[in-house]
Amino acid sequence: MDLLGGKWKLRILWHILEGATRFSSLRRAMPDISEKMLATQLNDLEADGILSRTIVSAKPLHIEYALAPDQQELCRALADLCEFSKNYAAKNNIALPDGACCPHEAPSGETPVRVV
pLDDT of residue 104: 46
Which own/partner pairs from 89-98 qualify as long-range (CB within 8 Å, at least 24 positions apart)? none
Distance CA 91, CA 86 (A): 9
Question: Which domains are delineated in the chain?
Answer: 9-67 (1.10.10.10)
| Beta carbons of 21 and 27 less than 8 angstroms apart | no
pLDDT digits (tens, 9 = 90+) for 32-84: 999 999 999 999 999 999 999 999 998 888 999 999 988 878 888 888 888 88
| Beta carbons of 104 and 18 less than 8 angstroms apart | yes
Mean per-residue pLDDT of the chain: 81
pLDDT digits (tens, 9 = 90+) for 85-106: 888 988 998 887 655 565 444 3
Report the predicted TM-score, pTM, of the whole model to 2 decimal places: 0.74
Nearest to 36 by CA among 45, 27, 49, 28: 27
